Amino acid sequence: VREYHDTESALELCEYPADLAILDRTNAPLKGPELFVRIRAHTAMPIMFVSGNGYILEKELAQLKVQPEAVIDLPFDNSEFLDVVRRVLP
């Protein structure tokens, strides 16, 4: 497990992919969708979003013409989260 304090630091995932990246839409200084695009340009690592507003996130991703492996809306319970992670991981 790796945790990043900001999305600029998370760009490390481009060079050193993880098994799964879990992003938030409202990260800083890069927003989650922009970070997603940058990571996906370098790796096919599975990416999922956790979002308090999945509708806005889906619109932003559609504008960028990209699709993550999953989007899970807040609030969620642990079993729902684990089900999504299991589905996303290869």
Tens place of pLDDT per residue across the chain (90 aa): 899 989 999 999 999 999 999 999 888 899 999 999 999 999 999 999 999 988 899 999 999 999 999 999 999 999 999 999 999 997
**To which H or E segment does residue 10 belong?**
helix 7-10
**CA atoms of 14 and 58, how far apart (whole Å):** 23
Answering whether pTM is above 0.85, one says yes
Query: What is the predicted pLDDT for the residue at 53?
Result: 86
Q: Hey, what are 78's tokens?
A: 């642990």
Query: What is the predicted pLDDT for the residue at 54?
Result: 82
